[in-house]
Amino acid sequence: MIKSTGAMLTGHSCLFTVWAPFRKTVDIEFEDSGLATTPLKKDEFGYWSKEIPGVKAGTKYRFILDGKAAYPDPSSKAQPDGVHSWSAVVDEHDYVWGDSEWEGIALKDLIIYELHIGTFTPEGTFESAISRLDHLLTLGVNAIEIMPIAQFPGGRNWGYDGVYPYAVQDTYGGSEGLKKLVDACHQKNIAVILDVVYNHMGPEGNYLAEYGPYFTGKHSTPWGKALNFDDAYSDHVRAYFLRNALMWLDDYHIDGLRLDAVHAIIDHGAYHFLKELRQSIDELQIKNRKRYFLIAESELNDVKIMEPYEKGGYGLDAQWTDDFHHAVHTLATGEYNGYYQDYGKVEHLAKAFRQGFIYDGIYSPFRKRTVGSNPQAMASSRFVVCIQNHDQVGNRMLGERPVELVSFEMLKLMAGTMLISPYIPMLFMGEEYAERHPFLYFISHGDPDLVEAVRKGRSNEFKAFKWKGQVPDPQAEETYNRSKLKWDFHQDPEQKALFTYYQYMISLRKQGMFSAFFERHVDTEVHEQQKLLIVRSKDASPGIGILLLVLNFSKETQHINMPAFLERWYKICSSSDERWRGKGCPGKTILQKGEEIEVAPESMVLYKSENS
């Protein structure tokens, strides 16, 4: 019933298949190849196909619908001339992989680094990113998360305007470039997670509706009509995206997918697309004897996404936890506009430490409704947390990173809070050394009306936050270039110190120094007026003992008394240490029970008990 679509080389010929159930004729034409325009044959489910001899890798083609307009292949593997032009045949088996020794990394051990290929390096390509992998190894990162790379219009885009899910962005280096990057990562023991978008398609170069009912009028999303996951003919649309997910994992050796905004994947059927996706990947795992991650972005705070099949869940591995970011950000910056109005108390961060979600079935003043479900049964490794990401930085009007908003001491406190937390930490590129270039929203659309609509839309988005200034032009190349990392942090003593601090904290995490917190068996003590949070593990971890973390988000020195139920406490680390260019930690290295200590302003300090 359902067939694989696209161009598949088979020896000295190529099988072309496209789904266009309502078209009367579909022909394929070729550019400058000596191959004749050829009609395809239709089956009972609307798949048109034909095996054509003499086709080679690189051959350019497109489909002519009903003898009139010609369009690129919806399942194109390459768009070398852009989203409106010819598709190109790709030989999926022409790359010799060198990652046969790669065994993967357990979910609980991931330390993720989110990056955008175009702005990660000056060149903005997959191959140039390889040159920075040693930097990530030195930092201690063991996984990269690549923002979307499906072909989008022009050469400047975040990637969420992709319109060819199967084609790798040509300006980044295309199919071969991506394989080289993944291969290099695996040879350096770095996992690769790819951000994919199955909730909408970009507006420019999107010709899916010319072929069939890929969209439905039953539902709408912020981007227009919803993709058709539950209406008539949806079996074929679902298969289109399921095959795409399997392609990234199987053909490109990707280790996991980050699923963009799954709350906008609207499916009211009995077998939700997300569950079918997970179960399809379960089958691939058995075939390849390899574990693949599925990490969701969702604004719903719904554990159903992660719950096992037998409980009616979708079985995804983890999800982004924005509550954690918002709790830290509001305490650090004092920003309470927009969705930040739901946060800002020390108790919010305490709750995030205890269970991940803050909104777990309680009322949200910003959203004016009850949000979330109880996450306490979920392991801490099911939550990904951050203090920066592309959304939280790039969706600010001026794209400012926290370095522009808070003190150097507060940057270290924020980082320590994330890295010591029970959850999977995710850094955003440049965060580790306080990159000062902004990360702005950028596009390179070819339609002037669309460009103007994006400009107006961006301006309207910022009204709830009351930010001041001029919105950078998303279409301007300067906006894109300003978003590139500078990579000169070694020349700045403060940036260099912050990198060393991140490096040290990550090494402690990988050594298991924070493991007593990892299953969230913690007591929290909230001092709201003092902006002080104390987190203590209930259980001792082998070789370490009980952990006691003190987070001081105030600009004043705070005093606490060490717990009296254990004789001695030993300092593990402090963000105000002089080696991180702090003013020095006033607390002693060894403390007796009940002894009072000082906690420096905007700092964190971590102790372990004697019984280690």
Neighbouring residues of 551: CB distance < 8 A, sequence distance ≥ 6: 349, 413, 416, 417, 532, 533, 534, 535, 604
Confidence of residue 32 (pLDDT cuts 50, 70, 90): confident
Confidence of residue 467 (pLDDT cuts 50, 70, 90): confident
What's residue 156's pLDDT?
97
Which is catalytic among the residues 92, 255, 260, 322? 260
The answer to whether the CB of 133 falls within 8 A of the CB of 184 is yes
pLDDT in tens, 114-171: 999 999 999 999 999 999 999 999 999 999 999 999 999 999 999 999 999 999 999 9
What's residue 435's pLDDT?
98
Confidence of residue 611 (pLDDT cuts 50, 70, 90): low
Higher pLDDT, 3 or 26: 26
Residue 19 belongs to some domain of the structure:
yes
Q: What gap in Å lies between CA 322 and CA 329, rounded to an integer?
A: 10
Q: Smallest Cα–Cα separation from 549: which of 584, 499, 509, 580? A: 509
What's residue 386's pLDDT?
98
Highest mean pLDDT among 44-48, 446-450, 593-597: 44-48
What's residue 587's pLDDT?
63
Beta strands in 348-497 (DSSP E): 362-364, 369-371, 383-385, 424-428
Determine whether 297 is an active site residue. yes
The answer to whether the CB of 88 falls within 8 A of the CB of 60 is yes
pTM: 0.97
User: Which amino acid belongs to residue 105?
Assistant: I
**What mean pLDDT is predicted for residues 347-368?**
97
**What mean pLDDT is predicted for residues 438-450?**
96
What's residue 565's pLDDT?
78
What's residue 520's pLDDT?
75
HSE-up of 265 (CA within 13 Å, CB side)? 25
The answer to whether the CB of 443 falls within 8 A of the CB of 457 is no
Residue 581 belongs to some domain of the structure:
yes
pLDDT in tens, 181-192: 999 999 999 999
Is the per-residue pLDDT at 459 higher than 90? no
The CA–CA distances, whole Å, from 371 to 70, 264, 360, 442, 543 equal 46, 16, 6, 31, 40
Token code pair at residue 455: 């400009």
Length of the chain in terms of residues written: 612
Number of compact structural domains in the chain: 2
Q: What gap in Å lies between CA 394 and CA 348, rounded to an integer?
A: 24
Is the per-residue pLDDT at 532 higher than 90? yes
Domain boundary among 88, 114, 148: 88
Which is catalytic among the residues 204, 231, 297, 302? 297
Q: What gap in Å lies between CA 4 and CA 75, rounded to an integer?
A: 9
**What mean pLDDT is predicted for residues 580-589?**
80
**What mean pLDDT is predicted for residues 386-397?**
96
pLDDT in tens, 202-229: 999 999 999 999 999 999 998 899 999 9
Domain boundary among 55, 88, 121: 88
Confidence of residue 463 (pLDDT cuts 50, 70, 90): confident
Q: Give the whole-number percent of the chain exceeding pLDDT 70.
A: 99
The answer to whether the CB of 319 falls within 8 A of the CB of 301 is no
Sign (positive/negative) of CA torsion 405, 408, 413, 416?
Answer: positive
Determine whether 92 is an active site residue. no
**74: which DSSP letter?**
T
Q: What is the CATH number of the domain that holds 66?
A: 2.60.40.10
Residue 22 belongs to some domain of the structure:
yes
Q: What gap in Å lies between CA 534 and CA 525, rounded to an integer?
A: 5
**What mean pLDDT is predicted for residues 53-59?**
95
Q: Smallest Cα–Cα separation from 498: which of 487, 489, 507, 509? A: 489
Residue 321 belongs to some domain of the structure:
no
15-29, 151-165, 204-218, 451-465: range with lowest mean pLDDT: 451-465
The answer to whether the CB of 366 falls within 8 A of the CB of 380 is no
Q: What is the CATH number of the domain that holds 526?
A: 2.60.40.1180
Residue 526 belongs to some domain of the structure:
yes
Three-state secondary structure call for residue 462: coil
- Residues paired with 18 in a beta bridge: 48
Residue 566 belongs to some domain of the structure:
yes
Is the per-residue pLDDT at 334 higher than 90? yes
pLDDT in tens, 298-326: 999 999 999 999 999 999 999 999 999 99
Confidence of residue 465 (pLDDT cuts 50, 70, 90): confident
Residue 489 belongs to some domain of the structure:
no
User: Parallel, antiparallel, or unpaired: how do β-strands 164-168 and 224-227 relate?
Assistant: unpaired
Is the per-residue pLDDT at 612 higher than 60? no
Is the per-residue pLDDT at 539 higher than 90? no
Q: What gap in Å lies between CA 440 and CA 400, rounded to an integer?
A: 8
Q: What gap in Å lies between CA 522 and CA 44, rounded to an integer?
A: 60
Is the per-residue pLDDT at 26 higher than 90? yes
Q: What gap in Å lies between CA 452 and CA 271, rounded to an integer?
A: 40
What's residue 354's pLDDT?
95
Three-state secondary structure call for residue 547: strand
In terms of C-beta density within 10 A (0-12 exposed, 13-18 middle, 19 or more buried), how is residue 566 classed?
Answer: middle
**471: which DSSP letter?**
P
Domain boundary among 88, 109, 124: 88
Q: What gap in Å lies between CA 233 and CA 131, rounded to an integer?
A: 45
Q: What gap in Å lies between CA 301 and CA 571, rounded to an integer?
A: 35
HSE-up of 238 (CA within 13 Å, CB side)? 21
Token code pair at residue 369: 């409704």
What's residue 268's pLDDT?
97
What's residue 98's pLDDT?
97
Residue with tokens 């606490």: 560
Q: Alpha helices of 408-545 — where are they, by DSSP H?
A: 408-420, 448-461, 477-482, 493-510
Residue 348 belongs to some domain of the structure:
no
What's residue 568's pLDDT?
87
Residue with tokens 């709408």: 220
Q: Smallest Cα–Cα separation from 238: which of 559, 2, 76? A: 2
**What mean pLDDT is predicted for residues 278-282?**
98
Q: What gap in Å lies between CA 479 and CA 484, rounded to an integer?
A: 9
What's residue 586's pLDDT?
64
Token code pair at residue 10: 């088979």
- Give residue 573's domain range: 522-609
Provide the edge-to-edge strand list for the sheet that holds 6-10: 6-10, 13-19, 47-53, 41-42
Confidence of residue 473 (pLDDT cuts 50, 70, 90): very high
